[in-house]
Structures are given as C-alpha cells and as structure tokens.
Amino acid sequence: MPFNKFAAMLVFAFAIMHFNFHNAWAADPLPSWNESASKKAIIAFVERVTEQGAADFVPPSERIAVFDNDGTLWPENPVPFQAAFAFDQIRKKASADSNLAADPMVQAALSGDVKKLLDGPHHDGLMHVLALTHSGMTNSEFQQSVEQWLANTRHPKLDRRYDDLTYLPMQELLEYLRANGFKTYIVSGGGADFMRVWSERVYGIPPEQVIGSHAKTKFEMRDSGPVLIKTMDHLFVDDKDGKPVGIHQFIGRRPIACFGNSDGDKAMLEYTTINNPRPSMGLIVHHTDAAREYAYDSAPKSSGKLIEALNDAPKRGWLVVDMEKDWNKVWK
Amino acid sequence: MPFNKFAAMLVFAFAIMHFNFHNAWAADPLPSWNESASKKAIIAFVERVTEQGAADFVPPSERIAVFDNDGTLWPENPVPFQAAFAFDQIRKKASADSNLAADPMVQAALSGDVKKLLDGPHHDGLMHVLALTHSGMTNSEFQQSVEQWLANTRHPKLDRRYDDLTYLPMQELLEYLRANGFKTYIVSGGGADFMRVWSERVYGIPPEQVIGSHAKTKFEMRDSGPVLIKTMDHLFVDDKDGKPVGIHQFIGRRPIACFGNSDGDKAMLEYTTINNPRPSMGLIVHHTDAAREYAYDSAPKSSGKLIEALNDAPKRGWLVVDMEKDWNKVWK
C-alpha cells in the first residue's frame, strides 16, 4: 500500500537518525582519560546539569566553566611560557641598550634567575620584566611579536612549539563541555593580550572569553587610523583573589565548573563551589608525571605551588586528577 | 503510483518550508523604522557582511556590534537613570546620617543640582555620589537594591518603569543583528554592575556582554560562603577614550558596528569605522523628538552632549538617525 511504503521509509529514516544520534552519545567524549573516579565524576556532573526537567538542570546561559591556563591547559615549566617569551624579548632589547642591560631585574631575567623574579607575593621582578616587554607598543605590534616568537621557538625539554604543548585530556574536556552547552573561559594570571593571540586557534576559546592579567591601553588617533598603545597603568593581576574578582568583572556571574592546578586557583575554586545555589564542580590537575611532563606540587621550579588547595580538596569535594594515573595520553 | 504520491508529499513539504523561509526573510525586521536612508543603509550593511562567499563577508565570530546605553538604547533625561537611582539611594542614606547630609556633593544630589555633579571632564561629583551608593556592599546586596528600585520607581515625565523605557526601534535593531549572527554588546559609561542586573531580561544581552564603568570588587570568605564586596578601587570609567579601551579589554577585537548618541561615543565610533580591515558601520541616534522623548544635542540638560561626533559624521560616513523622522514608534 502506498501509505505503508511511505511509513516504512519514514521508519527507516528515523532509524538511521536514531542510530547516529545514539552513536554520538555512546562514543567516549574523553578518550585520553582512563576510567578513573575523576572521569566518572566529570561525566556524572555534566549529565546531571544538562538533564532537562531534572531538579539540578542548569540553563545553558549559566553553564560557565573557567579554566586556569598555565599548568592546567598547558605546562608552566621550566618557567611559564609567557616568561620565556619575555626573556627572549628582553635579550633582544638589552643587546641594543646598555641602560637596560644594567637593570638588576633584567640581569636576573638574562641569567635565568627565576627565583629573584618571582620573589614577593606579586612577583614584582617578573612584573617589571613584563612591563619592559609588554608595553610601549601598539596592540597589533605586540600581537605580531607573540606570533613570531611562537613560530620560531621550541620548548627546551619537550621539544615542540609552545602552542603545540596543550594537554590533550584537557582539550577533550573543553570540547566535551562545549558540546554540552557550556561556555568555556580562560581565567589566568597570564596576560590577556598574550593569550588572545592564539586562544581561539589553539583552544577554540575566542578572545572575549579570555580573562587574564591586563593593564589599560591608551587610545590614539594616528594618521594611519586609531591605535591602542599598551601601557602598565591600572595593572590588574588576575591571580589568587584576583581570579574571582576578574570573573565578576568580565562575566558577571558565578561559574559552575572550575579547573586549576595551583594555590593561585584556590579562590576561584572556592567562588565556584562553596554555597553556589547551582550544582558545581571543582577540579585540580596534580602534576605527578615526571616522565611525560613534570612532577611537582609544594616545591615547583618556578610558579605553580600547590599546597593549600590540595589540602582543602577533600573537604571541598574538589576532584584531584593524577596526571600520571588518570591520563593515558598527555599530548596530541 | 506509490512513488509519485511520496514525491508529491515531498514537494508539498518543501513548498511549505520554502514558503515559511521566504516569509521569514520578506518580513520587515525593523517595523518601527520608517523607510529612510538610515534603515536602508543598515539593512544593506547587514546583507553585505553576511553574504556567504562575497568579498565583504565577515565570519560570525567577528560580527561584534557595540551599543552605548544611555541615550542610545534608553533615554538619559532628565538625568541618566543610574543617577536617579543614586539620588534615591542617597536620599535614604542621608536621612539617617548627618555627616553624609553635610557633604556638598550629597547636597547637590539632593537638590538636583546636576550641573555641579557633572562638572569637570570626569563628572567628579557624580562619581563621588556613585561611590557613596555603589560601594561597601556585596554585589548581591547591590543587585537587590537595583531590582527593588526598578520595581518601585517611575520616570518623572514618561511615567513608566525605567526598564520599560527602551527604544523599540533599537530593540528591533538588536534582534535583527543577532538574527544575523552578530554578538551584541553594551559599551556604556554606566556601571556594569547596575546594567547587568536587568540587561538580559530587558535587551537579551547577557551580563558577560555588558561593558561598563567598574571598579575592583574585594573577595572575602565569610561563614556564609564567598562574597565580593564592591569598592571604588581601580575605577575604570568606560566613556570617551575609555570606550575603545574597554572594548579591547573585554572583547579583544574591533567591532564592525557601533551605535551611540553623544560625543562620549566618538572614540568608539572611530575605533570601529576608521581603517577597519573589515566593512564597518557607525550610527548616531540624534534626539530630535521633544514630543515623544526629548530634543537636544549641543546643550543637553545633563549628559549626552553631541557636537563633535555630529560634526564628523558626514566625513566618517556615520549614519545619523533623526528620532522624530526616522522612527514611527519610539516605545513598545
């Protein structure tokens, strides 16, 4: 019968659709993660907040996930990658400027005395070197210098381009969250202008979802058109207590998922997970893998100290990911 | 024949789809706009940048549109609405605090001496009053006070709730741009925390797309959980040259469409339209409608002075919208 034939075709069409649909869901969204408690907890959380009609359902507009960058999405050893960029830039500049070469913090940078640069609660020496290498140019000029550096520099131990050193399991996590309606943000002590050069290409995170340390630019109308000059005025350091402050300033609502790796992320883990009216998740990447990456927590080579947040993790319910045991692959 | 019957059904189904599709496009997206040159230019611009494969096509991620708020999306007379909120708050506070009542700027606020408050390039008096009414509380407490005020206050001339006073033609424009893949942002001298309370409900603009004047909050862990306390530290005034600076800080790329109404918007109009490698559009809302709203430009009652930007409009190619002639309706 004509109608039956049509109905059969429809059934067949729906069967194909359903098969594909089912397959998409059945595929492992986190293949580089071993079947650990962490992986199960991540998936359980995502399923819980996305189940339409359930009590814990969170509307997509409120599915905000914030990720630290250095040590969470890519390494921060032997020094944070932006510090490596700054040292390379300052080496160039100091070779042409004897006053600059005489600056004690410049000398610390050139001799690799990271301890001296990171001294003090706000890493004043590093900030000074950042100022020398991150201000006085237009934003486009700065962008070009970052691109050029990335294209021509390799990591000393891991021997890859720096932007080819993101953790594959975290990339999968970013994608998995976005596929479930989350908006993924970077919230990093690193410079916003530095990260925005490559964040969209490398992480699929557009510039407007990158929150980082920043200072005011200065608007100027030149013959060539309007430009923004980078300055160090009104510096905002997006670290420690600055992270929830930056999140409020840029996003204006509380995240429901937060990913970090150091005590610098403790305040944003607290802001995300303590007495949040929405269900929430906090996760700490614990660097335990000396063979494939680095192993450190309380005594890192440069930045990335993890003592307090690790100590608080059990009482706060934060997941602690053991890089060595929980990840079957680290790199793409 | 069975096959023919099935084919006929398919043709019929596609015909319905096409009919709806065609209708959706044929419907006027800006019904409150008269068929003026401005309206035609807006539509021509949107069609130009969204035509796949054409030379001027702009990928959706770069379709950033920025809107001033006061005087562009809603009125700023007789005083900016946030100033009205601040005056009402300070009246409450001064009645309980004689020191506060003796403050000359508080007296100016209470007597409605807007000129005194707006004196100087950065409206220092107004800023002082804003500080008194916009800091010292948690962000949630502030949010509640804004909601409460909006629910209980009406505009003195237009006799509606303030949040019911948005310009219908601009609301249509916001929707039209979003329907064409634009991301719509507010970039306003108003306070980010003030606008974010209602921006999503009133404009469909989520808090993370609201750029405004702001200061640092202070993170505190209380027994009740983490809170952010509003302060006036690190104040950023998102006006004049601060607008492109704020756009860079929050979005990190140049907009391709910019909508303003005063000289405070000139810098962001320049930043959007001068030597932008992408096609771009600038538009100025000119307040010419004393009967339905207000008529002013060079000599506004309080804020909203429009001299230089209006003067530059022809040479910059900025559209100037005549509220009286170009809009057949102002309010919903």
In our burial notation (b when 16+ CB lie closer than 10 A, e otherwise), range A3-38 reads eeebeeeeeeeeeeeeeeeeeeeeeebbebbeeeeb
In a domain, residue A7? The reply is no
Residues B205 and B316 in one domain: yes
Which region, left, alpha or beta, applies to residue A63 given φ > 0 means left and ψ of -120 to 50 means alpha?
A: beta
Chain B contact present for A10, CB below 8 A: no
- B325 Cβ neighbours under 8 A, 6+ residues apart: B34, B36, B288
Residues B122 and B248 in one domain: no
Residues B290 and B144 in one domain: no
pLDDT band at A169 (very low <50, low <70, confident <90, very high): very high
pLDDT band at A22 (very low <50, low <70, confident <90, very high): very low
Task: Flag if A252 and B228 touch (Cβ within 8 Å).
Answer: no
Q: What is the pLDDT of residues B298-313, one digit of tens each?
A: 999 888 999 999 999 9
Residues A304 and A169 in one domain: yes
Spatial contact of A171 and A332, defined as CB atoms under 8 Å apart: yes
In a domain, residue B7? The reply is no
Cα diameter, chain A = 93
Q: B88: domain range? A: 81-152
Indicate the residue among A125, A152, A179 that finishes a domain: A152
What residues of chain B, 200 to 219, have a C-beta less than 8 Å from chain A? 200, 206-208, 210, 214, 216-219
pLDDT of residue A112: 81
In a domain, residue A208? The reply is yes
- Of A8-12, B150-154, B184-188, the range with the lowest mean pLDDT is A8-12
**Which residues from B are below 8 Å from A225, CB to CB?**
274-275
Indicate the residue among A103, A133, A152 that finishes a domain: A152
Q: Which of B61, B219, B252 sits opposite A196 (nearest CB)?
A: B252
In a domain, residue A314? The reply is yes
Residues A190 and A148 in one domain: no
Whether residue A215 is predicted with pLDDT greater than 80 in this model: the reply is yes
Spatial contact of B71 and B306, defined as CB atoms under 8 Å apart: no
Residues B195 and B46 in one domain: yes
Partners of residue B225 on adjacent β-strands: B222
Tokens of B215: 């200061």
Spatial contact of B2 and A2, defined as CB atoms under 8 Å apart: yes
Residues A86 and A46 in one domain: no
Cα(B247)–Cα(A225) distance, integer angstroms:
17
Terminal Cα distance for chain B, rounded? 54
CATH value at residue B73: 3.40.50.1000
Whether residue A229 is predicted with pLDDT greater than 70 in this model: the reply is yes
Task: Flag if A216 and B6 touch (Cβ within 8 Å).
Answer: no
Mutate which of A219, A270, A308 to disrupt the B interface (most B C-beta within 10 Å)?
A219
Residues B122 and B232 in one domain: no
Q: What is the pLDDT of residues B123-165, one digit of tens each?
A: 788 888 988 999 999 999 999 999 999 999 999 999 999 999 9
- A42 Cβ neighbours under 8 A, 6+ residues apart: A30, A33, A173, A176, A281, A283, A319
What phi and psi, each to the nearest 5 degrees, are found at residue A74? -150, 170
Q: Which of A1, A9, A275 sits opposite B225 (nearest CB)?
A: A275
Q: What is the pLDDT of residues B261-283, one digit of tens each?
A: 999 999 999 999 999 999 999 99
In a domain, residue B103? The reply is yes
Task: Flag if B217 and A249 touch (Cβ within 8 Å).
Answer: yes
Number of domains in chain A: 2
The whole-angstrom distance between A292's CA and the closest CA on chain B is 34
In a domain, residue A8? The reply is no
Residues B209 and B318 in one domain: yes
Chain A contact present for B93, CB below 8 A: no
The whole-angstrom distance between B139's CA and the closest CA on chain A is 9
In a domain, residue A261? The reply is yes
In a domain, residue B1? The reply is no
Which chain B residue is nearest to residue A143, measuring alpha carbons? B252
pTM (2 decimals)? 0.91
Which chain A residue is nearest to residue B240, measuring alpha carbons? A219
HSE, CB side, 13 Å, CA atoms: give it for residue A227: 14
Task: Flag if A210 and B252 touch (Cβ within 8 Å).
Answer: yes
Mean pLDDT of B107-111: 92
CA distances for A5 relative to A1, A18, A249, B130, angstroms: 6, 20, 60, 72
Indicate the residue among B129, B152, B175 that finishes a domain: B152
Residues A178 and A274 in one domain: yes
- Please count the other Cβ atoms lying within 10 Å of the Cβ belonging to residue A238: 25
Q: H/E element holding A88?
A: helix A81-94
Task: Flag if A219 and B206 touch (Cβ within 8 Å).
Answer: no
The whole-angstrom distance between A87's CA and the closest CA on chain B is 25
Residues A188 and A122 in one domain: no
Q: What is the pLDDT of residues B21-60, one digit of tens each?
A: 444 456 899 999 999 999 999 999 999 999 999 999 999 9
Q: Looking at this predicted complex, what is its ipTM?
A: 0.89
- Of B117 and A68, which is predicted with more confidence? A68
Residues B139 and B200 in one domain: no
